[in-house]
Amino acid sequence: MPTEPSFLSAPLDAIPKNIDLPFPVYVTVAGKKTCLRNAGEKLTNDRLKTLEKKIDTVFIPSESWNLFLDYLEKNGESETNNPTQTAKSLHALLFAYTKHMERMREVQRNNVTRLRTLAYDLVNVTFENPQITAELLKRYKDHSVYFANHSVNMALYAIALGKKLKFTNSELKSLAFACLVANIGNALLPEELLYRNGKLTESEWKLIRGHSHQGAELLEYLDAPEEVITVARQHHERMDGQGYPFGLKGKDIHPFAKICAIADVYDALISQKPYGEPPLTPEQAILTMQGMHGKFDPDILTMIGTA
């Protein structure tokens, strides 16, 4: 097993300025992690000026990550009428929990429970304030860390598709939660494999393909709702029976898993990944998916272009 990374990344946005914080913050300077401020210190104005121009990601030592989550919980949810501010707070919380889920080998039950309520917040803001949704999508598009962003993007696209399919509010919340944790099985894979910029052997592909089944088992252990477990297990099944882990065909795949599959592939195609091809435009992505004949539910796929 590789050694656990000693830092976890977070958006710079999530770190308030001119306030003492109970955890240290690092940045990467010339490829090296450099301490920006120690626990209990403030940033200087000079330092901030340099940062705002050049850096969008900071690093928190793994052992301080729970202090960081506690801080976000206490300070991130203040009621505000400012869409940018609300999007910023929700982004910081969603990012922290999805990132935590991705990097930690032991996913804690309360983290998954918290992601469920954040999925509910996500659905609520898409109804109450489209401006916040737009801000969130922008933030997730801009940010450089792929896997944590991908989970939230999947949830946002799935909510948009679910709305077009006239899902109830409670169905949308369940769908959003399912998409946020559909790839939780990645937390059980060696990190080096997830971010590998090179060829994978057949046995490594087998390990990666195991993330849907293993994720479902983990969610079962964490007492997630049945349909959320089903989506994790089935989000790589394909309508023509050529997916995994079971090769299920169209009618046997849960409708939420069909939506999650489309949101998953669509976001993967249009995003800059840590490996592989450069991103496609939304139009190119839709054409590519339509060209994969029989893989996706055609009725839902036609909706992604207008979602």
List of residues contacting Fe ion (CB under 5 A): 183
Of 95 and 147, nearer to Fe ion (C-beta) is 147
Of 93 and 194, nearer to Fe ion (C-beta) is 194
Of 100 and 236, nearer to Fe ion (C-beta) is 236
> Residue 264 Cβ, how far from Fe ion at the closest point, in Å?
6
Of 133 and 183, nearer to Fe ion (C-beta) is 183
> Residue 301 Cβ, how far from Fe ion at the closest point, in Å?
18
> Residue 71 Cβ, how far from Fe ion at the closest point, in Å?
30
| Measured CA distances, 282 to 1, 119, 160, 168, 237 (Å) | 38, 24, 15, 27, 23
Of 90 and 289, nearer to Fe ion (C-beta) is 289
| Measured CA distances, 18 to 21, 29, 36, 47, 54 (Å) | 9, 21, 13, 11, 19
Of 9 and 183, nearer to Fe ion (C-beta) is 183
Of 136 and 184, nearer to Fe ion (C-beta) is 184
> Residue 183 Cβ, how far from Fe ion at the closest point, in Å?
4
Q: In sequence order, what are the residues at sequence separation of 6 or more whose Cβ sits closer than 8 angstroms to the Cβ of residue 57?
A: 9, 10, 11, 12, 27, 28, 143, 144, 145
User: Taking every pair of C-alpha atoms in the chain, what is the biggest distance, in angstroms?
Assistant: 60
> Residue 238 Cβ, how far from Fe ion at the closest point, in Å?
12
Q: What is the 3-state secondary structure (H, E, C) of 42-103?
A: CCCHHHHHHHHHHCCEEEEEHHHHHHHHHHHHHHCCCCCCCHHHHHHHHHHHHHHHHHHHHH
CB atoms within 10 A of CB 69: 20
> Residue 258 Cβ, how far from Fe ion at the closest point, in Å?
14
92-129-156-134 Cα dihedral, nearest 10 degrees: -80
What's the order of all strands across the beta sheet hosting 57-61? Answer: 7-11, 57-61, 25-29, 32-37
For Fe ion, the nearest residue by Cβ is 183
> Which pair of structure tokens corresponds to residue 42?
């403030």
> Residue 208 Cβ, how far from Fe ion at the closest point, in Å?
9
